[in-house]
Structures are given as structure tokens and as C-alpha cells.
Structure 1
Amino acid sequence: MVKKIIIISLAFTLGVTFKAFSQLEQLQNICSLYFPPEFISDGQQYFSPLKPDQSVEFRTTFYGDNVYRIVACTNAKKGDLVFSVYDTEKNLLFTNSAYDNSPYWNFKFKSTVSCIIRLKLESKSFQPGYVMLLIGYQTK
């Protein structure tokens, strides 16, 4: 009986892990469409499930005099993915909602800045999904 419970638990865990991995791979493919080769990834994969009326925050540091690209994507079927960049005092620095919810943004800071990036799906008929954020800097 214990053996059967362990096998069922293992099968469930592997199933959940496989689903998350396939979601991650799907989002990587979507995001890579907006991540050209002249940008080098910061080495992080910001990935999270997103539920109704929820936002997700990621923190990062941008170094002065580098050109960066942020790419935000989702596999949710309906709605617009809004990403906003704030400084650590929650002052809004950028939001893609002012630019037709563009999935990416290129920018350059004059000095090093720690930021909070918030992602939220705006939709009247929301279906849960996953979001991914890619950040890269341009090669010189």
C-alpha cells in the first residue's frame, strides 16, 4: 500500500513538473521572437504563474550606460500583458500600456538603478496562464 502511494505521488509530481517545463519552453519560444541576437541575456529566466486579479513582480538592477531590452510574454489566450518598471520607491519609470502594450522595450539609464518590474494581464475574461520576462543588454 505504501509503495502504491509513493508511485502515485511520484507520478503526480512528475506530471506537474513536466507541465511547468512545457509552459516554460513555450514561453521561451514566444519571447525569443522579440529578443534579437544583438542582445545578450542577463542569465535569468523570470517565470511565474499568473492568476486572475494578480500581478507578479521581479526585481533587478540595470547598470548605467548599457542599452537594455525587456521582453514580456504570456501564454494566456485573452488579454493584454502590461509591464511597468518602477524604481525602489515605486515611482513609475515606464509602462508599455502607453505604447499599445508592446511586448518589448529598449532603454538606457545614465546611472545604475535597482528596479521593480510588475506584470499584470488586463482582461475581462481572464484565463490563468504563465508569464515570462526576459532581460538582456546590447553588445557594443
Structure 2
Amino acid sequence: MKKLALYSIFTLFVGFGVKAQDCETLVKDCEVLLKGKEKNFVSDGQVYTAFLDREKAEFKTTFFGGTTYRIAATAGTDDEYVIFTVKDLQGNIIFSNRKYKNSSYWDFKVPITIPVIIETELDMDKKITGCAVMMIGFKR
């Protein structure tokens, strides 16, 4: 019985370690997407990470008028696993990469300062569980 309990605890910690390590790798991949080939986007300093299992994660931020932003997201080697949707505080959809084959990043310029909610979820047709990483950057 003791062996079973110890094995269960060990498996639990190893499992969390694998998830954390997987997320750390994805953060580096997401940084590459955020900077892009032209390397003219700078991170806002936040890394939005969630382990998703058939669910959505929400992140709140503010976009400042006149600024060009890039949202980048990844959940694995196929960068089209993550769907991100930008909504205003009333829930109106401003943008979703779902309409663009789940593009792993998107650039846009906002005309006015606006607080937003960004929802991330995995594309259930491609992946049902795993770590999703999103970063937001602005153009230099």
C-alpha cells in the first residue's frame, strides 16, 4: 500500500514537471513567433500560459490607441492548435484567428484605447489537451 501511495505521489509530481517543462519549451517557441523574421515586435513582458483540457482560458489586457500589436500563440509543433479570440468587455468579438485557419500570430493596429478579454482554446479537431502559450507584443 505504501508503495502504491508513493508511486502515485511520484507520478503526480513527474506529471506536473513534464507539463511545466512542455510549457517552458512552448514559451521559447512563442517568443520566436512574437518577434517574427523582421524582429520588430517587443513583448509586453507577460507570458500567458494555461494548461487546457477541453476548456478555455481568459486573459485581460488593454490595447492602447495608435499602437500596432501582435498576438502570438502556440501549443506544439503545429502552431495552428490554438484559437484566440479578442473581445471587448461586453463580449463582442473584435477578432478571432479561427477565421484565418488558426494563424499562430496576427498583427493589428487599434484606433482607440480599449480594454479587452482574450480567450484561448485548443482546436478540438487537432488537440484536446495540453499547454497553450500566448504572448502579446507591440511594434517598435
AA in 1 matched with 2:26:
L
CA-CA distance at 1:16 after TM superposition: 5.4
Deviation of the 1:106 alpha carbon: 0.5
- The corresponding residue for 2:21 is 22
- Which of 27-36 and 61-70 deviates more? 27-36
- Which amino acid in 2 is paired with 1:105? W
Equivalent residue of 2:111, what SS? coil
- TM-score normalised by L of structure 2: 0.79
Q: Please state if 1:89 is matched with 2:90.
A: yes
Quick check: 2:42–2:137 contact (8 Å CA) kept in 1?
yes
Match of 2:137 in 1: 136
User: Does structure 2 retain, via aligned residues, the 8 Å contact 1:57–1:116?
Assistant: yes
| Contact persistence 1:76–1:129 (CA under 8 A) | no
Distance in 1 between the 2:112 and 2:51 partners? 32
- Quote how far apart the aligned CAs of 1:21 are: 3.3
**Residue in structure 2 matched with residue 46 of structure 1 by the alignment:** 48
Task: Measure, in 2, the Cα distance between the counterparts of 1:100 and 1:126.
Answer: 15
Unpaired segments ≥5 residues, structure 2? none
Please identify runs of 4+ aligned residues in structure 1 that moved more than 3 A.
Answer: 11-18, 124-127
Root-mean-square deviation (Å):
2.5
TM-score by structure 1 length?
0.79
Aligned residues: 131
Matches within 5 A, 1:1-140: 15=14, 18-36=17-35, 37-52=39-54, 54-75=55-76, 80-124=81-125, 126-139=127-140
What is the identity percentage for the equivalent residue pairs of Structure 1 and Structure 2? 31
1:13–1:98 distance in 2 versus 1, CA, 3 Å: closer
